[in-house]
Amino acid sequence: MQPANKTQGPITQSQQVLGTGKSSLLNAISGEERSIVCDMSGTTRDAVDTKVTLPSGQKLTLIDTAGIRKRSRVADSPDGAEAISVDRAMRAVRRADVAVLVIDAVEGITQQDFRLSELFAAEGKAVVVVVNKWDRVDPRLWTVEKMAENVRTQLRHVSWASVVCTSAIYGRHVEDVLEAVLDAGAQHRRRVPTATLNMVLREATQWKAPPTQRGSLRKGRIYYATQAGARPPSFVFFVNDEKLFPDDYRRYMERQLRDNIGFPGSPLRLFWRGKPKREPRARPASSSPAGAGGSGGRGGGYRGGGARGYSGGRG
């Protein structure tokens, strides 16, 4: 997202099983029948851009993409157009700021949903998971909180994603989807002052100190951290040796950033940079003539030695 009166980055919606309500959700957000809604799978064959202006004046570009099936199924499909549709959907993901993953509340999370969430995380996209067809779920078995926990557990690559349960065909909680998308986009662009970041860092290290390397007395030290970029938020930790910080401690530090600063709906990138190794200093070359030695090499000795040698010659 960008400030008001400027075109926002696209919001892409991708899902392996068509008929989950991607087009219905887009129509509900835009308030118009922009995309064809049909119970038959494969209705959406190309990425369709839809411009939307919010009451606040913000402008969004929504992209209704074709469904993304497994590569093996696409390769075996006699329809050559499907491979082109999938390729265009993947391009839409790469140019988006926020990816909206729509899953079917009745069918549940599929293996392809897991792979798509992994793709979104690898691309560094903010993510909102929309559980559609919530009206068909038995309320005695599922609550919104329980479903959100289930989504974050199964889609561990985007466990930080915002989760919204909705029924697009009836227009229920559609405004919650839009609010989650706007918030995720803002978190994706967010920058944190260095002073705030290092205050959280100091408290985190006091609570759990960096580990000591096994078999030695070397202990990890964090000097300071700074934010290097946004979209997604990226942080550089300057340490004595990055090898002294195992993966579990790095995950701990990411949790501390999320618990104390936030970033819901956005991935984080943490980079650990150790001190550069110093090269051994070269010894300065001797200014004495080659082969010279004894007192003749010291200041004053040469003149005295020469005098003695000369008088000895005279003798």
End-to-end CA distance of the chain: 100
Whether residue 205 sits in one domain with residue 171: no
CATH number at residue 254: 3.30.300.20
Whether residue 198 sits in one domain with residue 185: no
Average per-residue pLDDT in the chain?
79
Per-residue pLDDT of 234-275, as tens digits, reads: 999 999 999 999 999 999 999 999 999 999 999 999 999 998
Would 302 be classed as within a structural domain?
Answer: no
The answer to whether residue 229 scores a pLDDT higher than 50 is yes
Q: What is the pTM of this model?
A: 0.74
Per-residue pLDDT of 109-155, as tens digits, reads: 988 889 889 999 999 999 999 999 999 999 999 999 999 999 999 99
CB 245 within 8 A of CB 273: no
Look at residue 263 and give its three-state secondary structure. coil
Other beta carbons within 10 Å of 94:
11
Number of domains present in the structure of the chain: 2
pLDDT at res. 265: 96
Look at residue 272 and give its three-state secondary structure. strand
Whether residue 124 sits in one domain with residue 54: yes
pLDDT at res. 24: 80
d(CA 189, CA 65): 24
d(CA 235, CA 225): 7
The answer to whether residue 188 scores a pLDDT higher than 60 is yes
Per-residue pLDDT of 65-77, as tens digits, reads: 766 655 544 445 5
138 torsion bin: left (phi>0), alpha (psi -120 to 50), beta (else): beta
CB 165 within 8 A of CB 144: yes
pLDDT at res. 42: 46
pLDDT at res. 244: 93
Alpha carbon of residue 294 to chain centroid: 68
Residue 269 belongs to what domain range?
194-274
Top pLDDT among 305 and 112 is at 112
pLDDT at res. 221: 95
The answer to whether residue 312 scores a pLDDT higher than 50 is no
pLDDT at res. 189: 97
Cα–Cα–Cα angle for 84, 85, 86, rounded to 5 degrees:
90
The answer to whether residue 39 scores a pLDDT higher than 80 is no
pLDDT at res. 92: 81
Whether residue 245 sits in one domain with residue 198: yes
d(CA 155, CA 108): 12
The answer to whether residue 179 scores a pLDDT higher than 80 is yes
Whether residue 262 sits in one domain with residue 115: no
Would 85 be classed as within a structural domain?
Answer: no
CA-nearest of 181, 185, 201 to 193 is: 201
Domain-ending residue, one of 189, 215, 235: 189
